[in-house]
């Protein structure tokens, strides 16, 4: 059975003390015993990752990074490598978020290199993809999402997909309060799963967790997560509030 995953993408929010107290609050609020098939991940900003790994110790909460570079080290001012993350106990990384693509110029080619580096390091990747509003209006959303997934991931060997989690995040739904309907999410998730099945195998496609992201909140999480091809969510704004994030985690049960 595929794992449900609820991952909180904290983006450029929360100082060290705020990050530590949010995790401490989550530790008391999330009932770990009820979450047999759900993984809970938080992704604080880089400077707070190490502290986060210490605070989550002895819990089922995992810590992920929001980005990494495709080289191990070198003259790349301001960048962070996968090796640096691994040494502080962070083995999961979000790659391809639309904010990275839009504001920081991350192309399919760059993302392919990042994914390949993560795989070489045996890191786990939460790979984001999703169409812009204009692309959906023009009916190009299927084409856009398959192209993003294909360009960054389809040169991976089948054995490497055990390290891949997908996150469909329609750009028009991120931080806007507008959510894709459960049917719209299901449609893209099923389409991507079929695309993976056609290029690899249906056995492999059935094992891949595909998260939905874009204005998920306690009020809509249950219905979105109930769709057969939606295996949890990547949560932005609502991940910054312990009660909301806990309610979204509980919506996977
Ligand atoms: P949102 O962000 O939940 O605030 O829409 C989701 C994301 O960007 O991962």
Contact indicator for 185, 227 with CB cutoff of 8 Å: yes
Known catalytic residue at 169: yes
Sign of the C-alpha dihedral computed for residues 193, 194, 196 and 197 taken in this order:
positive
Torsion over CA: 169, 97, 242, 237 (sign): negative
pLDDT tens, position by position, 28-82: 999 988 888 999 999 999 999 999 999 999 999 999 999 999 999 999 999 999 9
Would you list the domain boundaries of the chain?
4-250
Q: Is 170 in the pocket of ligand 1 (CB under 6 A)?
A: no
User: Using an 8 Å Cβ cutoff, are 130 and 147 in contact?
Assistant: no
Adjacent-strand bridge partners of 94:
126
Task: Give the per-residue pLDDT at 178.
Answer: 83
Give the pLDDT of residue 125: 98
Q: Any catalytic annotation for residue 69?
A: no
pLDDT in tens, 177-235: 888 899 999 999 999 999 999 999 999 999 999 999 999 999 999 999 999 999 999 99
Ligand 1 pocket mutation, candidates 128, 235, 239, 247, criterion most atoms within 8 A of CB: 235
Distance of CA 116 from the midpoint of ligand 1 (Å):
25
Alpha helices in 121-216 (DSSP H): 133-137, 141-153, 182-199, 202-207
pTM: 0.98
Calculate ∠ Cα 12-13-17, nearest 5°. Answer: 130
Distance 185 CA to ligand 1 centre (A): 14
Query: What pLDDT score does 1 carry?
Result: 79
Nearest CA-CA partner of 203 in 164, 161, 153, 234: 161
Burial grade of 27 (CB within 10 A; 0-12, 13-18, 19 or more): middle
**SS3 state at 59:** coil
Q: Whose CA is nearest to atom 9 of ligand 1?
A: 236
Q: What is the pLDDT of residues 142-165, one digit of tens each?
A: 999 999 999 999 999 999 999 999
Residue 9 Cβ contacting ligand 1 at under 6 Å? yes
Catalytic pick from 62, 99, 106, 169?
169
Closest-CA residue to 104 (of 73, 140, 69, 62): 69
Nearest to 41 by CA among 249, 242, 253: 249
Confidence at residue 176, expressed as pLDDT on a 0 to 100 scale: 87
Q: Determine whether the shortest distance from the Cβ of 221 to ligand 1 is under 6 A.
A: no
d(CA 39, CA 60): 7
Read off the pLDDT of residues 104-148 as tens digits, 9 standing for 90 and up: 999 999 999 999 999 999 999 999 999 999 999 999 999 999 999
From the CA of 128, give the closest atom in ligand 1: 9
pLDDT category at 175 given cuts 50, 70, 90 is confident
d(CA 185, CA 223): 11
What pLDDT was estimated at residue 98? 97
CATH architecture of 4-250: Alpha-Beta Barrel (3.20)
């Amino acid at each position: 059975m595929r794992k449900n995953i609820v991952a909180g993408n904290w983006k450029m929010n929360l100082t060290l003390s705020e990050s530590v107290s949010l995790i401490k609050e989550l530790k008391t609020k999330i009932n770990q015993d009820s979450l047999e098939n759900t993984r809970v991940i938080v992704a604080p900003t880089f400077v707070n990752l190490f502290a986060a790994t210490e605070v989550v110790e002895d819990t089922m909460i995992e810590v992920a990074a929001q980005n990494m570079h495709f080289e191990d080290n070198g003259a790349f001012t301001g960048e962070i490598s996968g090796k640096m993350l691994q040494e502080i106990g962070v083995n999961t990384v979000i790659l391809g978020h639309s904010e990275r693509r839009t504001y920081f110029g991350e192309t399919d080619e760059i993302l392919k290199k990042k994914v390949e580096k993560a795989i070489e390091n045996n890191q786990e990747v939460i790979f984001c993809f999703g169409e812009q509003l204009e692309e959906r209006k023009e009916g190009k959303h299927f084409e856009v999402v398959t192209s993003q997934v294909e360009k960054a991931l389809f040169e991976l060997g089948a054995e490497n997909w055990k390290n891949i989690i997908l996150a469909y995040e329609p750009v028009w739904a991120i931080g806007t309060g507008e959510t894709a309907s459960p049917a719209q999410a299901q449609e893209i998730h099923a389409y991507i799963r079929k695309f993976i099945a056609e290029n690899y195998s249906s056995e492999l496609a059935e094992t891949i967790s595909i998260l939905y992201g874009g204005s998920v909140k306690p009020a809509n999480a249950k219905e979105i997560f109930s769709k057969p091809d939606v295996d949890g969510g990547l949560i932005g704004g609502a991940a910054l509030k312990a009660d909301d994030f806990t309610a979204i985690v509980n919506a996977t049960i």
